[in-house]
């Protein structure tokens, strides 16, 4: 009897735990996030990008001081990147399922770590930067997302070289 009580208690505790290991929603949403990332790669696809973005999107912008932005700013930022850069490639480090911040259970959201590379169309200068992105999906469209990378450093790296002025000394 003494051995039965701890066994019953252990079984009870294990049965009360909600073990949300079903990754089917995550896998469905990962496919949408992968398609979204592909729209930025060469050749870009702005129309497909627009079709994957929910009208009520809330996006954490990587641009200094921008904070969270809505649909119109998401479209402007995407157009800026898609028309300003070429030979763009995203090399995936890892795709990971997201979790609910309160329950810590899988919630179907998607996270990805990777590296963006390419070059600026105007200057032909290359860039390469590590990035982290997250995606929440609703009704097959991205409703929340965030980009974490050094957008300002990227712009500095690809800016035109400063113009050198010839100074004539009068001696």
- 164: burial class by Cβ within 10 Å (0-12, 13-18, 19+)? exposed
Give the architecture-level CATH label for domain 22-158.
Roll (3.10)
What distance in Å separates the CA atoms of residue 98 and residue 29, rounded to the nearest whole number? 11
What distance in Å separates the CA atoms of residue 128 and residue 118, rounded to the nearest whole number? 7
**Residue 4 host element (H or E):** helix 4-16
3-state class (DSSP) for residue 53:
strand
- pTM for the model stands at 0.81
Closest among 90, 91, 83 to 44, alpha carbons compared: 83
Question: Quick count: other Cβ atoms within 10 Å of Cβ 131?
Answer: 19
Backbone φ and ψ of 112, nearest 5°: -145, 140
Would you give the end-to-end CA distance of the chain in angstroms? 107
What distance in Å separates the CA atoms of residue 100 and residue 26, rounded to the nearest whole number? 12
86 close to 56: Cβ distance less than 8 angstroms: no
Domain boundaries, the chain: 22-158
What distance in Å separates the CA atoms of residue 165 and residue 171, rounded to the nearest whole number? 19
DSSP 8-state class, residue 43 = S
3-state class (DSSP) for residue 118:
strand
Q: Which pairing describes strands 53-60 and 126-138: parallel, antiparallel, or unpaired? A: unpaired
What distance in Å separates the CA atoms of residue 106 and residue 20, rounded to the nearest whole number? 6
pLDDT of the residue at 63: 87
- The per-residue pLDDT string of the chain (171 residues; one tens digit each, 9 = 90 and over) reads 566 666 555 555 544 555 557 899 999 999 999 999 999 999 999 999 999 999 999 999 998 889 999 999 999 999 999 999 999 999 999 999 999 999 999 999 999 999 999 999 999 999 999 999 999 999 999 999 999 999 888 888 888 888 877 767 666
pLDDT of the residue at 162: 84
């Amino acid at each position: 009897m003494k051995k039965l009580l701890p066994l019953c208690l252990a079984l009870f505790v294990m049965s009360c735990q909600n073990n949300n290991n079903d990754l089917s929603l995550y896998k469905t949403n990962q496919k949408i996030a992968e398609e979204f990332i592909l729209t930025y790669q060469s050749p870009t696809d702005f129309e497909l990008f627009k079709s994957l973005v929910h009208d009520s999107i809330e996006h954490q912008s990587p641009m200094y001081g921008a904070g969270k932005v809505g649909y119109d700013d998401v479209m402007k930022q995407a157009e800026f990147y898609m028309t300003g850069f070429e030979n763009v490639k995203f090399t995936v480090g890892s795709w990971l399922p997201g979790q609910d911040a309160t329950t810590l259970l899988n919630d179907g959201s998607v996270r990805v770590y990777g590296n963006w590379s390419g070059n600026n169309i105007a200057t032909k200068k290359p860039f390469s930067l590590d990035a982290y992105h997250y995606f929440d999906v609703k009704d097959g469209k991205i409703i929340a997302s965030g980009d974490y990378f050094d957008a300002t450093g990227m712009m500095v790296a690809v800016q035109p070289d400063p113009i050198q002025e010839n100074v004539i000394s009068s001696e």
